[in-house]
Amino acid sequence: MKALIVYGTRYGATKGTSEEIAKVLRDENLDVKVVNAQDEKVKDISEYGLVIVGSGVACGRWVNEAEDFLKKFRKEFENKKLALFVSSVEPIAKKEGNTAEVAKMHKIDLEDRVSKYSLKPITTGFFGGIIDFNKMGFLTRKGMEAAFKTPLQKHGFKETAPNAYDLRDWDEIRNWAKETAKKAQE
């Protein structure tokens, strides 16, 4: 089976997550192509049995090019195995025990997209992203630091570089990819 992973990223987390998902899918005997929607426009998905679309999210917004891909191919997805995932700050809310916020993020970031485009994904994934304060504009950085710097440190998220935090759980991502491969091949 041929698989296509199309992603949009802000700080690189969704790229790395997509590449890791591709490794797992290849281990599960799928032929995988990975595309950064910001660099390459996909014109046709007819050769793929599985399509995975991933996006970084900020304030409930997907990366524009990833969302545009969903819009463009929503009719073709009816005849494909489709999986969706997002990279987000959800692990912080989970660590804080804020189940209402986690549920709200899931609804806005994934469920609303599924409904908006009438999609029927075989799996959805909700993964941690990267918070890199160095790549943010001044106002965004100040707001994000105020909201997240203390919780990041309080809950033991380590800096992977000065002022950059990787919130991804690689085992969770790999397990999701294996589940997705299994469901795609059923």
Tell whether 18 and 94 lie within a shared domain.
yes
Mind listing the pLDDT tens digit for each residue in 126-178? 999 999 999 999 999 999 999 999 999 999 998 999 999 999 999 999 999 99
Whether 56 and 135 map to the same domain: the answer is no
Residue 22 has pLDDT above 90, yes or no: yes
Whether 54 and 96 map to the same domain: the answer is yes
- Mark whether 85 and 111 lie in a shared domain: yes
Cβ neighbours of residue 21 under 8 Å, at least 6 residues apart? 5, 52, 54, 85, 173, 176, 177, 180
Averaged pLDDT of the chain: 95
The reported pLDDT for the residue numbered 59 is 84
pLDDT at site 17? 98
Residues 143 and 78 in one domain: no
Q: Are residues 41 and 104 in the same domain?
A: yes
Q: Which domain holds residue 99?
A: 2-129+167-184
Structure tokens at 151: 């919780």
Q: pTM value?
A: 0.95
Query: How confident is the model over 33-62, as pLDDT tens digits?
Result: 999 999 999 999 999 999 999 999 988 899
Express each pLDDT in 78-112 by its tens digit: 999 999 999 999 999 999 999 999 999 999 999 99
Q: How far is CA 38 from CA 13, 73, 89, in A?
A: 14, 16, 21
CATH of the domain at 17: 3.40.50.360
> How confident is the model at residue 74, as a pLDDT?
96
Our count of domains for the chain comes to 2
3-state class of 29 per DSSP? coil
